[in-house]
Each structure stands twice: as structure tokens, then as C-alpha cells.
């Protein structure tokens, strides 16, 4: 089979570097142009020393010309930067956007949380998204030429609670999520509050009070699963680790629903999913166990005293939370096996 040529815009960032890492192990894709912004002209090995096979590759400027001529283009750019690039790429090119530009269907929500004009809506790149009547999110991705990769928090939170809404066992109101993320989720730009001396041995909340930009995306996904509006109180926290998300998600169970019914809904939703692993009862997810993999580790329990389901999911925010999802979506768009080139084994200790 002829190798599929791929370009990565934003290759100097964490997400872009993770895409390159995964593509170096992909049997059907070859890495073409590696584009960047302010780091253009720099050797890749200076920015990402761990990417040894391409260390001498020089980063080029991010322009439509440098991205042209590739069958797949991954965009790992800041929010708001993808739309102008996409408009100048050929319609037959598969474009996988890791930014937020095309995730939301509601233009008013975009304007409220991002403060700019809405660029449009693309097929949403969460293949495992549980939908009513047994449908899944991957049904819109096969053969697609434009795909919006989910945010890292929405990936964990949606996979955690989606089966309960799609299976009709959860109430649509009073959903509460508290999630912890490693510092790489904030990107590679220097920020004083992300210095090692500020984050080591410390946790802190941010985006409190419904202000985090991933809130409408989580609500959009869970509403699709429930086939009715779902409201979410979402509080993210910053954890002293470079990678990983641990999302603790709770929602009210409908009257008369038992713990066995809850467990059965989650088992049915993910029984055939290669990357989502519902752990044996009593075993709870840890971020360390998904490090470097495209896996989601998941556990669910019913707090019968309060009538709430507690679902906990762990993902690597740079792999399944971003770059792994991007490659997974590209596989589906190209008609390749969905798991091609994606690691299903973590790194330990």
C-alpha cells in the first residue's frame, strides 16, 4: 500500500509533538511537512529531543503552501487559528483539527466562551461517544474530510457519563464534574503559574463558576447522548504532573434504577471498544496506568444513599485526549482499521 503523506501544523507544541510521535509508529502514514509559528527555522530535535528519527528535520512556516500536497493535515494550533488555514486547503484533503474552532454546534455558545465569530461545525471526533439506540459517534467519521478533535476534558467526561444518558438511567439535571489535569494541558507557552516551583506539591482550581471553555462542549456531548438538554457544573483543577486527566463525574440516577442496571449500561456501551476499558468492580482508574496510551480507564458505581452515579475516567490528555484521538479519527476517515498505529499499552512505572 502506498504511504499516506501527512503534514502537522503546530509541530513544536505538546500536541503536535505527540502527533509526530504516534505517526512515527504508524505503518501507513509518512510524516511530511512539520510546520510551526515562532519556532519555524528550528530543528525539531531542539524542540522535541525525544523525536530522534526526525531530529534533523527543520520546522517550516505554517502556510497553506507548506501544508499543500499532503493527503492528511493535522492542525495543532491555538484556538481561532485553524479557520483561516482551512479555507485555503483543498476540499479533498483530510483535515483533523485539534483546536476548538469547529467543535461547537451552537454559535452563541462559541461567542460566549471564546469571544470571537463562530467558524462553523465539523463532524465531532469522538468515535466512542454513546448515542441513543446503540449508535456511536464514529458513524459520522468514516470518509469525512473535516473532523474536529474533542477537548481533553470533554473526552474523559463524556466517556465517563455518556452510557448513563444514552442508556436512560441518569437525570439530565444536576450533573457535577471535578477533573484534575496535568500541566501540559495548558500548552507549551511559558506561564508563571505553570513554573515548576508553582506547581510542585500543589493543586489548584481554575475556570471556577462555569467559566471553563470546555463546559459547553461537555454539555453538547451529554445532551446528544441523552437526546435532551443536559446541564453540567464543571470545575477543573491543576495537578502537579505533566500528563493525565482524572475526571470524577456524578449525576442523579433515575428512580428505581439499581446498581446492577447502572453497571450493565456501561458494560453494554463499551463492550466492543478497543480503547475504553471498564475496570473490574472495586478497581479505580489511575492516570499512571494510561500514560502514553490511547486508552481510557473507567469505573462506575452507584451511591445508593444519595442516589448518584459516580463515574471516574483516566486518560492521557496528550494521547487519547488529543493526538491519539486525532490519529484515530484520521484512520476512520481513510478507511483504515481504527486502532492502526495507536498504543494500547501504557508506560510504567
Strand order, beta sheet including 276-278: 204-205, 232-238, 175-181, 245-252, 308-315, 296-303, 276-278
Residue 12 · residue 72 · CB < 8 Å = no
Q: Where are the domains of the chain?
A: 4-122, 153-315
pLDDT given for residue 79 in this prediction:
87
- Whether the predicted pLDDT of 69 surpasses 70: yes
Superfamily the domain 4-122 falls into: NAD(P)-binding Rossmann-like Domain (3.40.50.720)
pLDDT range class, residue 189, cuts 50, 70, 90: low
- Whether the predicted pLDDT of 160 surpasses 70: yes
User: Mind listing the pLDDT tens digit for each residue in 106-134?
Assistant: 999 999 999 999 999 999 999 999 999 99
The DSSP line for 105-148 is S-HHHHHHHH-S-------B--TT-B-GGG-BGGGGTTT-SEEE
Kindly state the average pLDDT of the residues 247-257.
97
Burial 310-335 (b: 16+ CB within 10 A, else e): bbbbbbbbbbbbbbbbbbbbbbbbbe
Kindly state the average pLDDT of the residues 131-154.
96
pLDDT range class, residue 2, cuts 50, 70, 90: confident
pLDDT range class, residue 198, cuts 50, 70, 90: confident
Q: How many CB atoms lie within 10 A of CB 137?
A: 22
- Whether the predicted pLDDT of 188 surpasses 70: no
- Whether the predicted pLDDT of 252 surpasses 70: yes
One of 98, 152, 249, 329 is an active-site residue; which one?
152
CATH of 153-315, one of 3.40.50.150, 3.30.360.10, 1.10.760.10, 3.30.420.40: 3.30.360.10
- Whether the predicted pLDDT of 186 surpasses 70: no
Distances (CA, A) of 196 to 4, 183, 200, 291: 40, 10, 6, 20
**pTM of the complete model:** 0.95
Residue 171 · residue 251 · CB < 8 Å = yes
User: Mind listing the pLDDT tens digit for each residue in 7-39?
Assistant: 999 999 999 999 999 999 999 999 999 999 999
184: alpha, beta or left? (left if phi > 0; alpha if psi -120 to 50): alpha
Averaged pLDDT score across all residues of the chain? 95
The DSSP line for 218-240 is HHHHHHHHHTS---EEEEEEE-S
- Whether the predicted pLDDT of 194 surpasses 80: no
- Whether the predicted pLDDT of 190 surpasses 70: no
Dmax (CA) for the chain in angstroms is 63
pLDDT range class, residue 199, cuts 50, 70, 90: confident
Of 100-104, 123-127, 139-143, 181-185, give the lowest mean pLDDT range: 181-185
152 catalytic, yes or no? Answer: yes
Kindly state the average pLDDT of the residues 103-108.
96
pLDDT given for residue 1 in this prediction:
61
Alpha-carbon distance 269 to 321, whole Å?
19
Q: How many CB atoms lie within 10 A of CB 231?
A: 13
pLDDT range class, residue 184, cuts 50, 70, 90: confident
Kindly state the average pLDDT of the residues 209-234.
96
Q: Is the peptide bond before 349 cis (omega within 30 degrees of 0)?
A: yes
Of 73-87, 180-194, 229-243, give the lowest mean pLDDT range: 180-194
Sign of CA dihedral 318, 324, 330, 333: negative
Amino acid at each position: 500500500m502506498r504511504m499516506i503523506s501527512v503534514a502537522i501544523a503546530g509541530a513544536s507544541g505538546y500536541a503536535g509533538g505527540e502527533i509526530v510521535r504516534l505517526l512515527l509508529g504508524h505503518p501507513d502514514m509518512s510524516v511530511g511537512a512539520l510546520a510551526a509559528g515562532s519556532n519555524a527555522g528550528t530543528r525539531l530535535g531542539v524542540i522535541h529531543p525525544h523525536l530522534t528519527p526526525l531530529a534533523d528535520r527543520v520546522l517550516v512556516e505554517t502556510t497553506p503552501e507548506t501544508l499543500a500536497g499532503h493527503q492528511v493535515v493535522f492542525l495543532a494550533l491555538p484556538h481561532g487559528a485553524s479557520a483561516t488555514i482551512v479555507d485555503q486547503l483543498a476540499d479533498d484533503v483530510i483535515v483533523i483539527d485539534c483546536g476548538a474552532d469547529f467543535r461547537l454546534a451552537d454559535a452563541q455558545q462559541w461567542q460566549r466562551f471564546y469571544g470571537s465569530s463562530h467558524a462553523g461545525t465539523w463532524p465531532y471526533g469522538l468515535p466512542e461517544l454513546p448515542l441513543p439506540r446503540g449508535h456511536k459517534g464514529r458513524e459520522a467519521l468514516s470518509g469525512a474530510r473535516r473532523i474536529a478533535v474533542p477537548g481533553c476534558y470533554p473526552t474523559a467526561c463524556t466517556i465517563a457519563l455518556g452510557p448513563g444518558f444514552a442508556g436512560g438511567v441518569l437525570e439530565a439535571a444536576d450533573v457535577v464534574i471535578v477533573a484534575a489535569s496535568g500541566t501540559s494541558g495548558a500548552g507549551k507557552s511559558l506561564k508563571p503559574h505553570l513554573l515548576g516551583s508553582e506547581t510542585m506539591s500543589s493543586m489548584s482550581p481554575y475556570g471556577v463558576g462555569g467559566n471553563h471553555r470546555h463546559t459547553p462542549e461537555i454539555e453538547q456531548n451529554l445532551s446528544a447522548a441523552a437526546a435532551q438538554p443536559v446541564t453540567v457544573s464543571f470545575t477543573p483543577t491543576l495537578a502537579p504532573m505533566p500528563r493525565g486527566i482524572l475526571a470524577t463525574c456524578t449525576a442523579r440516577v433515575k428512580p428505581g434504577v439499581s446498581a446492577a442496571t447502572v453497571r450493565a449500561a456501561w458494560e453494554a456501551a463499551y463492550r466492543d471498544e478497543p480503547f475504553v476499558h471498564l475496570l473490574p468492580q472495586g478497581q479505580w482508574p489511575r492516570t499512571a496506568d494510561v500514560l502514553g496510551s490511547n486508552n481510557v480507564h473507567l469505573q462506575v458505581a452507584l451511591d445508593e444513599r444519595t442516589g448518584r452515579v459516580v463515574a471516574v475516567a483516566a486518560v492521557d490528555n496528550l494521547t487519547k485526549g488529543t493526538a491519539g484521538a486525532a490519529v484515530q479519527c484520521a484512520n476512520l476517515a481513510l478507511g483504515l482499521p481504527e486502532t492502526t498505529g495507536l498504543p494500547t499499552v501504557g508506560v510504567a512505572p
